[in-house]
Amino acid sequence: MYMLSCAAGYKYPGAEAPYVLDIIPLAAGLAVTSSDQSLCLFDPTRLGLGPAKIIRTNHGHLTSAKAYNASESIISTAGENGSISVWDFRLDPSKAEALRIQGNGATSLLSLACSSQISTLAVGTELDNHQASVLLWDIRSPSAPKLQYNEVHSDDVTELNFHPGDPNLLLSGSTDGLVNVCDTRITDEDEVIIQAFNHGSVHRAGFLNSTEVFAISHDEKFSLYDMAEGVEQGSATLDVGDLRQVLGCQYVASISPKLNGAGAVIGAGSQDQEMFQLIHLSKGPTGAWNLDKETAVGLPGAHGSELVRSFCVFDEQHVVFTAGEDGYIKAWRPT
């Protein structure tokens, strides 16, 4: 295993430091969310100096954050009071909220996806009054959702992601066990699902490339699925099972697909060993997917005995950033 060392870090202040939740790369720096409901911008080259900008969100409890347009440093957040905000980090924090939408009443929003290509925000709700919904807004006319699906899932909608090449396709995952791919150009809810995979209660799911989808359940079962024609629909093309057993870890923080569609990086941790690993998922010469445990990258010490909540990798700069429940954001580099 190739080891990195902690080169810099910043701990959020307070007797009980908040959990640091998401790290989202933007042109202006690293956008970071935390359990104290703040949205901060860090200069990745001067991490130890703390946030360059601090925004206080107003979601009751911030549950999800995604880049809306990373090159323009615009980000969206959503939360438990049913609200969605769009923030522009090019502006002063007091003026940064460019848009605020009240979602599906006061129903808590659990998941979020953004597509600047079609000026659309999508949110997924928790189950409320026997209904879990996926709602889409055109931010150019945000007075009401342009689409609302109330029957694609029967439990909390925990994951949303737009297709990397066709933003009309939206992937959703739920604790009902389903990973669905919907064509949002179809208005009839009975016809909108073009692919469905029964995976188990979905923790993370997304597109690896134009046709292949990954999913990991809340009990860490990991599989790949393929939407391509000629592939048996609904069946996993790779069924790894419990990643904790396969990787010798205690939890999986998240899975980060590579932008070129060539694979993904799996972030897995062990609190007992105070270790976090990055394991590459890649295709071999035959087209079969492999977990390349031999080239795993280790972050010894990680975030102590606390969970790592998110990570991002910058290959060209040879740096990895992690966020944890110990209140730290850290930068890791080769020794």
**Residues 74-120 pLDDT 10s:** 999 999 999 999 999 999 999 999 999 987 777 999 999 999 999 99
Is it the case that residue 224 has pLDDT exceeding 80? yes
- Average pLDDT of the residues in 195-223: 96
SS3 content of the chain, % helix, strand, coil (to 5): 5, 55, 40
pLDDT of 181 above 90: yes
Question: Which pTM value belongs to this model?
Answer: 0.95
**pLDDT per residue over 27-69, tens digit each?**
999 999 999 999 999 999 999 999 999 999 999 999 999 999 9
How would residue 232 be classed by pLDDT, with cut points 50, 70 and 90? Answer: confident
Sign, CA dihedral 171-172-173-177, equals negative
* Residue range 312-324, pLDDT digits in tens: 999 889 999 999 9
Distances (CA, A) of 105 to 39, 97, 108, 135: 23, 20, 9, 12
Q: How far is it, in rounded angstroms, from Cα 188 to Cα 206?
A: 24
* Residue owning tokens 């790894």: 240
Scored b (16 or more CB within 10 A) or e, 186-216 reads: eeeeeebbebebebbbbbbbbbbbebbbbbb
Q: What is the pLDDT of residues 119-173, one digit of tens each?
A: 999 999 999 999 999 999 999 999 999 999 999 999 999 999 999 999 999 999 9
Beta bridge partners of 331: 8, 321
Measured distance CA(6)–CA(55) in Å, rounded? 27
Closest CA to 322 of 259, 252, 267, 262: 267
CA distance 119 to 270: 40
